[in-house]
Structure 1
């Protein structure tokens, strides 16, 4: 295997996204009461989630090869660095490894891991091409990372608030990405919200979700769940979210929307830090 192939496979699984998954699961476990004695279990759970996520990215690119040739020609498959068969095997191997690791963590994390694998497969093959269903699926799958991390060491009650926030921010981000990808999705026959109903309804829904998210972030401080340190950091995240909500209506150029999508990803990391520090 040459270096170009190795680099292509690494790009296929999207390492920055996997790092976020790993940190999310680890943080959820700590919020649920994990101690230093649980570090092996937490590490295995976090690694399992990240590996499954990498497999999900591979199978997504497998089914999106033709659309990505239009929307993202620099991805490994359209560029020719990785073949579809190789992407298929990356998914199979990563999913198998992830589910085996999850089996060691516990029965409930194992069940969530199986749900992830099945959901990511059908999302990539069918659901992402359906109006709103694919967007909601990504939100649920992402939110479950918090529940999964908490269940790896015990109860999941402390994971519900961050899971709700993760659902909303990823729902908004997926809607923005749908607008960004409208040309390739239209040519590929995908029936996403902007393809079927237009760009303005999609941006309107994304804005509504962001506003709901901003309003929701104040509640855990108001009811005493998180302290003032949370409020300070989440306030910065809310400013970034406000910037995205306003900017969505200023320009719909793909590179501009891609930047806003990255800002939304950043707010998730910042929100995670806020919850960790403020809890």
Structure 2
């Protein structure tokens, strides 16, 4: 039998897990390793990449930084989340704001310590990343359009940390990054539609709040069709092996997404659209294994000849 104190401790651990969104962390770790193996360093053996202790530290620092970002974001959004997500907010409040800040600063210190073993550039990169997450949560998030753009950039930034480590700057990587960025930007705007009530009360200047739901849907639709640009390059120009199946299915799903978008009007319906986009993004992580590394290596050689 668990004592009352043990039950309270478990509840607080579950609360902290909810705050840092631990259910997302494993996806980020998997995405970084698969990206390193199949996209960022296709010329290296998979085992060499997995056993690379420097890469392990960079991935660990990335996930810890993202976790600390969720904590500071939760700290500033406490009032808004109580309106938009009351059940989750009540679970999150089992851990005090003071404890959250202590964990936040402890995690950031650990990140800086880990990067000490890599290089001063790594320390600078992650210090900047940590600062940008805090500045976004504290100030930028409430600024019209800037909040959406910044949130999307911060979501893809960890992959650029690995990109800088391998120094493989070739075009196909940026096509992948653009597709992911657009999906995340669309998801951020869907979240704005989903959280309109809380944004209005807490004075967040989002597109739905400033211009209304119809304009927001129009912008989301335009961004959705913009995903055709990176997909065209990935399928027709660079060739990503069997992963083109994923991109074709993604385009079909996004067309279905746009149709549902214009029929949606309630928070529940927008939440479903949010999960649909999340499904596309997570599916993309697993479908990275469909890329033929030799294709990317050949593409890299072609680019280096110019």
TM-score scaled to structure 1, two decimals?
A: 0.91
Residue 37 of structure 1 corresponds to 48
Task: Output the aligned Cα RMSD.
Answer: 2.0
SS of the aligned residue for 1:75 comes to helix
The alignment partner of 1:189 has SS state of: coil
- Say if 2:40 and 2:163, in contact at 8 Å, map to a contact too: yes
- CA 1:118–1:230 in 2, change beyond 3 Å: closer, same or farther? same
Q: Which has the higher mean CA deviation after the structures are superposed, 33-42 or 178-187?
A: 33-42
Could you say which residue in structure 2 is the equivalent of 1:169?
183
Deviations 1:61-87 (A, max 9, x none): 100001111001122457631221122
Alignment of 1:141-152 (within 5 A): 141-152=154-165
Instruction: Give structure 1 regions of 4+ aligned residues with deviation exceeding 4 angstroms.
Output: 76-79
The aligned residue for residue 7 of structure 1 is: 14
Q: Which has the larger radius of gyration?
A: 2
For residues 211 and 68 of structure 1, do their structure 2 counterparts lie closer, same or farther at Cα, with a shift above 3 Å needed?
same
Kindly state the Cα deviation for residue 111 of structure 1 after the two structures are TM-superposed.
3.0
Say if 1:77 and 1:159 are closer, same or farther in 2 by CA, change over 3 A: farther
Q: How many angstroms apart in 2 are the aligned matches of 1:102 and 1:160?
A: 25
- CA offset at residue 103 of structure 1? 3.7
Partner of residue 206 from structure 1, selected from 210, 220, 239: 220
CA spacing shift, 1:4–1:56, aligned 2, 3 Å: same
CA shift digits 1:25-73 (9 cap, x unpaired): 2223222225323422222221211111111001111000011110011
Matched length: 278
Match of 1:240? 253
Deviation, structure 1 residue 5: 0.7
| Pairing partner for 2:73 from 50, 60, 71 | 60
Alpha-carbon distance in 1 for matches of 2:147, 2:136 = 6
1:150 Cα deviation after fit: 2.3
Q: 1:26 pairs with 26, 33, 56, which one?
A: 33
Match of 2:144 among 131, 134, 151: 131
Q: Distance in 2 between matches of 1:52 and 1:79?
A: 19
1:14 shift after superposition? 0.2
- For the 8 Å contact 2:35–2:288, the answer to whether it is kept is no
Query: CA separation of 1:88/1:75 partners in 2, compared to 1, >3 Å: closer, same or farther?
Result: farther
Higher relative contact order, structure no. (Cα contacts within 8 Å, ≥ 6 residues apart): 2
Partners of 1:240 and 1:103 lie apart in 2 by: 43
| Most deviating of 84-93 and 71-80 | 71-80
Which whole-Å CA distance do the structure 1 matches of 2:126 and 2:203 have between them? Answer: 30
